[in-house]
């Protein structure tokens, strides 16, 4: 260990870093830390030296590699090379804090090896909330997503979010807005699939009095309302071609006219769009403008489906149960067998489906304990191999489209073709379900 005098000099050098920074010895104990590190983790600077790093940042009695995480300390000491990794730390209030750790080898004059770590925050957990839904996780796929969204927020370029139905594209769009320099301005959403083609132009650009029959007053459009802020266009692939050309123009010029108006109105809007379709394929089929695609995809972010981050399901389910419990004024918890069932379920409807499943389970539970029986997955889960047609499926691997097709077909048969009920079970809109039925020729 360095002398007390040397430790003081090292701490002074670390304080030149704006980000939290710490030097760790081979035994995981902290040699020196800057003020930003102590503040982030709620530790008295006078009491930081000598404490285990994992006890401070992870609130864990054991090193992070024993909890299944890639340990930057071990990696740097083994290779003597810099190393970067995404981790979930816990801040001074014990809230999850998603960070990127940059670790570097340091050698003292006497030959001792140390590790310098700088901590770069991606996003605190409280920025991931949205009404009844939450972005929760610590899996590599989730942390990589948060890093991509954080990088997108630092730019003012348009963002195109890709992801299956129910993965949380709305949450991601709100996160980008909250983390951007526009966070104090308006945030406006429009689902392009939920508005008739005849009203789309008026909704986006507004209209003047007398613009059409029955129009008795002026209405501001979303581009006007969101001026200075962010406009989120969900299901952008459903926007009519006639409107796509007008959208492209306002993105290029920053100007538009209200329907029935002659004055040019200037707007400064950061556009975030989302889709679960391949827009380039649609462009090749002349169903989406290629020039609009390249204008929208200034930054593209793929949101992973829930099945690709199964490690996050227990924490996400617990968070949703707590939120749903608060709404009912009661306390519910998940039994271990329920958590096991959820982790093995394919979730074609992703997070939205998970929420609907838990909401139904809470309604069925009379004791406050949600068991596997309350989830009602037996009739629909692929994990128990009882779904109609699965037992006779070929042994060769099948695509996710085929899995989803069979799942929807089974639900439609079980519920006598009731699309509203099936859409509710899947956690999707009826319009989305109809597109899937048409896509799979069910």
Task: Give the tens place of pLDDT for each residue, 245-297.
Answer: 999 999 999 999 998 888 999 999 999 999 999 999 999 999 999 999 999 99
pLDDT of residue 345: 93
In this prediction, residues 43-65 reach a mean pLDDT of 89
pLDDT of residue 401: 67
Per-residue pLDDT band for 216 (boundaries 50, 70, 90) equals low
pLDDT of residue 239: 93
Name, in order, each residue with C-beta under 8 angstroms of 9's C-beta and a sequence gap of 6 or more. Answer: none
Per-residue pLDDT band for 308 (boundaries 50, 70, 90) equals very high
Per-residue pLDDT band for 6 (boundaries 50, 70, 90) equals low
Task: Give the tens place of pLDDT for each residue, 92-122.
Answer: 777 777 788 999 999 888 888 999 999 988 7
pLDDT of residue 69: 78
pTM above 0.75, yes or no: no
In whole angstroms, what separates CA 398 from the centre of its chain? 27
Distances in Å between the Cα of 428 and the Cα atoms of 196, 208, 379, 385, 433 are: 19, 35, 19, 23, 7
Residue 132 has pLDDT above 80, yes or no: no
Task: Give the tens place of pLDDT for each residue, 147-194.
Answer: 899 899 999 999 999 999 889 999 999 999 998 999 999 999 999 988
Share of the chain above pLDDT 90, in %: 44
Rounded to whole angstroms, the Cα distance separating 303 from 300 reads 10
Are 170 and 230 in contact by the 8 Å Cβ rule? The answer is: no
Give the CA angle between residues 117, 128, 181 to the nearest 5°: 80
Q: For 400-417, give the DSSP string.
A: HHHHHHHHHHHHHHHTTT
Domains detected in the chain: 4-123 (3.30.450.20), 131-302 (3.40.50.300), 306-439 (1.10.8.60)
Task: Give the tens place of pLDDT for each residue, 354-392.
Answer: 998 998 899 888 889 999 999 988 544 443 333 334 334
**Which residues is 99 bridged to in the sheet?**
87, 121
Are 335 and 341 in contact by the 8 Å Cβ rule? The answer is: no
pLDDT of residue 388: 39
Q: What is the DSSP letter of 95?
A: -
Residue 209 has pLDDT above 90, yes or no: no
Are 49 and 2 in contact by the 8 Å Cβ rule? The answer is: no
Task: Give the tens place of pLDDT for each residue, 383-426.
Answer: 333 333 433 444 444 456 676 777 788 778 777 777 877 777 77
């Amino acid at each position: 260990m360095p002398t007390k005098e040397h430790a003081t000099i090292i701490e002074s050098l670390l304080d030149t870093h704006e980000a939290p920074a710490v030097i760790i010895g081979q035994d995981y104990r902290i040699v020196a830390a800057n003020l930003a590190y102590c503040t982030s983790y709620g530790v008295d600077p006078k009491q930081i030296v000598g404490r285990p790093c994992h006890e401070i940042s992870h609130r864990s009695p054991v090193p992070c590699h024993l909890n299944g995480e890639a340990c930057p300390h071990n990696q740097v000491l083994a290779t003597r090379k810099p190393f970067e990794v995404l981790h979930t730390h816990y801040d001074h209030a014990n809230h999850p804090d998603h960070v990127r750790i940059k670790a570097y080898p340091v050698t003292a004059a006497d030959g001792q090896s140390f590790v310098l770590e700088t901590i770069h925050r991606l996003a605190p957990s409280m920025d991931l909330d949205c009404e009844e839904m939450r972005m929760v996780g610590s899996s590599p796929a989730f942390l990589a997503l948060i890093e991509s969204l954080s990088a997108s927020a630092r730019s003012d370029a348009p963002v195109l979010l890709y992801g299956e139905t129910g993965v949380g594209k709305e949450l991601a769009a709100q996160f980008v807005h909250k983390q951007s320099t526009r966070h104090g301005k308006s945030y406006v959403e429009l689902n392009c699939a939920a508005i008739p083609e005849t009203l789309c132009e008026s909704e986006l650009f507004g209209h003047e009095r007398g613009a059409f029959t029955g129009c008795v007053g002026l209405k501001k459009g979303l581009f006007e309302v969101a001026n200075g802020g962010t406009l989120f266009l969900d299901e952008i692939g459903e926007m009519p071609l006639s409107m796509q050309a007008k959208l492209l123009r306002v993105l290029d010029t920053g100007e538009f006219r209200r329907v029935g108006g002659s004055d040019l109105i200037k707007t400064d809007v950061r556009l975030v769009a989302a889709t679960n379709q391949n827009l380039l394929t649609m462009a090749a089929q002349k169903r989406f403008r290629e020039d609009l695609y390249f204008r929208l995809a200034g930054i593209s972010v793929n949101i992973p489906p829930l099945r690709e981050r199964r490690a996050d399901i227990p924490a996400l389910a617990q968070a949703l149960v707590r939120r749903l419990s608060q709404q009912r004024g009661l306390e519910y918890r998940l039994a271990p067998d329920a958590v096991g069932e959820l982790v093995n379920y394919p979730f074609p409807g992703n997070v939205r489906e998970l929420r609907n499943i838990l909401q139904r389970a809470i309604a069925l539970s009379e004791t406050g304990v949600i068991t596997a029986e309350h989830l009602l997955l037996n009739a629909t889960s692929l994990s128990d191999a009882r779904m109609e047609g699965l037992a006779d499926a070929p042994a060769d691997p099948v695509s996710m489209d085929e899995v989803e097709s069979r799942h929807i077909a089974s639900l439609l048969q079980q519920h006598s073709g009731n699309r509203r009920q099936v859409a509710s079970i899947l956690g999707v809109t009826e319009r989305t379900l109809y597109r899937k039925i048409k896509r799979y020729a069910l």
